[in-house]
Amino acid sequence: MSHTLGVRQAQKQKTRQALLDAALQLLEEQSLSSLGLREVTRAAGVAPTAFYRHFRDMADLGVALVEEALGSLHTALTALLSATGDRAGEDDGEERIAATVELIAVYVRTHPAHVRFIAREQHGGVQAVRAAIGGQLDLFAREVKDQFAREPEAAGWAEDDLLMLAGMYVDHMVMTASALLEAGAAGAAGAAGADSRATERVTARARRQLRLVSLGRRHWLDER
């Protein structure tokens, strides 16, 4: 009996993932608000009625895509900040800066469809998905703030200032991911080697921007 339940659960998960994958592929060329349920189920190879065993509606599927898109990045970012926390004040934070930019670059290379989905839907027409993206980014910022608070450079900082700094860090990650995605698309449409040159320009600028944030952190003075 338990074996049968296990097989059914595995099949259910497989169908759910097929719906997510089909939607993500279709969203390469359109927004979620214009995507139809039947379009997704046809691409996934399942009956329309099967959709409702996994999602309430298309907005619910969109929220699941947000969690899928940002979940692995969230885990990786938390691990990176923790690993570089003890050395964040050394070498002007260069290790953390380089590691952060590389993390984003790798994520864009390995999950371009997810990055494109987040970039498009962050200000898109489906309110539940906008709220889910905002909630995930707020969670990122609060966990970054908690890591920053444990570091010597945070001595004397007010909690809301730390949260402001963390929000800048997270916003920069989103901005860099979008810029890298655009650089890759522009390079693919241009001459050979244009992709790598455009990507290097974006990563170099991202590192410079984070150095500026790091410099401001070390010299911040609360004047209130």
pLDDT tens digit at each of 224 positions of the chain: 556 667 788 899 999 999 999 999 999 999 999 999 999 999 999 999 999 999 999 999 999 999 999 988 888 888 898 888 766 656 568 889 999 999 999 999 999 999 999 999 999 999 999 999 999 999 999 999 999 998 888 888 999 999 999 999 999 999 999 999 999 875 555 554 667 889 999 999 999 999 998 888 888 866 55
151: left (phi over 0), alpha (psi -120 to 50) or beta: beta
- Residue keyed to tokens 């522009």: 186
Q: Cβ contacts of residue 16 below 8 Å, gap of 6+? A: 54
Q: What is the pLDDT of residue 42?
A: 98
pTM over 0.75? The answer is: yes
What the block records as the tokens of 176 is: 């860099």
d(CA 195, CA 192): 7
Q: What is the pLDDT of residue 185?
A: 72
Q: Cβ contacts of residue 177 below 8 Å, gap of 6+? A: 104, 107, 108, 115, 118, 119
Q: Cβ contacts of residue 111 below 8 Å, gap of 6+? A: 69, 72, 73
d(CA 138, CA 135): 5
d(CA 53, CA 14): 12
* The length of the chain, given as a count of residues: 224
Q: Cβ contacts of residue 9 below 8 Å, gap of 6+? A: none
Q: Cβ contacts of residue 160 below 8 Å, gap of 6+? A: none
With contact defined as beta carbons under 8 Å apart, do 27 and 116 qualify? yes
Q: What is the pLDDT of residue 1?
A: 52
d(CA 86, CA 93): 10
